[in-house]
Chain A
Amino acid sequence: MDTILLIILVLLIPATYLLFNLRAGKKQTERSNRIKWKHK
């Protein structure tokens, strides 16, 4: 059980890293009702 979880974790971490580095799709970024965060 622990070994299976460890294998899943080892696969999840690089997959998350790669996915995080991709820009979000237009369906997300070009919405009119998007929250306007203030970056200052």
Chain B
Amino acid sequence: MNSKQALQTFGRSGNPMFSSKTFSETVIEGQIEQMTLQGTVNKVGISLLLVLLTASFTWNQYFLYGASAITGYLWGGMIVGFIFAMITIFKKTWAGVTAPAYAIAKGFALGGISAMYEAQFGGITIQAVTLTFGTLFSLLFAYKTGIIKPDENFRLMLFAATFGIFITYIVNLIMGFFGASIGFIHSNGTFGILFSLAVVAIAALNLVLDFDYIEQGAEQRAPKYLEWYGAFSLMVTLIWLYLEILRLLSKIRSR
């Protein structure tokens, strides 16, 4: 073999593991593994099914054996879900494993919470689920048709509002350790309902940012694992929206 043939076979490295084909094959594989809109939507569907599966388990446990039977699932689901959410945020490449795990864990918690609200206000769960999907559809339509256009100002205002709610909830949690709470968060008075309405609106508008992230990811041919990350982001917002709608409906019905 002369030096030209050797160069063509093995590339510039003498190591046969690094032949000239190695990198071209990697590029071809890289082109196949790209984020698509349909792939992300399917992963959102899988996540929703996982939530439904574990939520129906806790739901049945509650109505068969009472509240004490689901305490572990409820708190376990919340804590494990939070841990998986943090891992997904800081290690996006693991989203293929941690995002479905987040959905499974959150399902246990959501099933328990929904069952407790349902026992108190019959029919509230189907109302909250329908309203959540109705909001998802309406905002998706508004986004796709360009009625709502998320720009930097939109993002900044939404971030400020979301952060404000987060701080309010954290303060409420800390006050809870001392037996106090911020009244309007749980109050069914006019101010309490207005607060819940505002939180629902902010949670709903966060969906628009998720749509934009997913749409651009597919446009820019982002890596495949970001399909799971996009689905995870949407699930976090959807679960938050569902819980806030549940709280709002319970306030209205308890008046």
Q: Which residue of A lies closest to B134 (CB)?
A: A12
A39 contacts B37, C-beta separation under 8 Å: no
Question: CA separation between A22 and B155, bound complex, in Å?
Answer: 23
Query: Which bracket fits the contact residues of A?
Result: 20 to 34
Q: Which residue of A lies closest to B37 (CB)?
A: A21
B219 within 8 A of A: yes
Contacting A at CB under 8 A, from B122-145, are 123, 126-127, 129-130, 133-134, 136-137, 140-141, 143-145
Number of A-B contacts (CB under 8 A): 90
A28 contacts B146, C-beta separation under 8 Å: yes
Partner of B144, one of A12, A13, A15, A22: A22
A29 contacts B219, C-beta separation under 8 Å: yes
B134 contacts A35, C-beta separation under 8 Å: no
B137 contacts A19, C-beta separation under 8 Å: yes
B152 contacts A33, C-beta separation under 8 Å: yes
**B residues near A2, Cβ cutoff 8 Å:** 123, 126
Of the listed stretches B14-22, B98-106, B210-218, chain A binds B210-218
Question: CA separation between A19 and B215, bound complex, in Å?
Answer: 12
Closest CB in chain A relative to B249 CB, distance in Å: 12
B133 contacts A25, C-beta separation under 8 Å: no
Given contacts A1-B123, A5-B130, A24-B146, contact A31 B140 (CB under 8 A): no
Query: Which bracket fits the contact residues of B?
Result: 35 or more
Closest CB in chain B relative to A30 CB, distance in Å: 10
B241 within 8 A of A: no
A sample of 12 cross-chain residue pairs with beta-carbon separation below 8 angstroms, ordered by A number, consists of A1-B123, A6-B130, A16-B136, A19-B140, A19-B141, A20-B140, A24-B143, A27-B146, A35-B151, A35-B155, A39-B216, A39-B222
Chain B residues proximal to chain A, CB less than 8 Å: 35, 37-38, 41, 44-45, 92, 123, 126-127, 129-130, 133-134, 136-137, 140-141, 143-146, 149-152, 155, 209, 211-213, 215-217, 219-220, 222-223, 226
| Given pairs A20-B37, A28-B149, A33-B149, 9 additional interface contacts (CB within 8 A) | A5-B127, A15-B137, A16-B140, A19-B141, A21-B41, A24-B143, A33-B152, A34-B149, A39-B35
Which 9 pairs across A and B sit closest by C-beta, in order of nearness? Answer: A27-B146, A39-B222, A28-B146, A33-B151, A12-B133, A5-B130, A20-B41, A16-B137, A24-B144
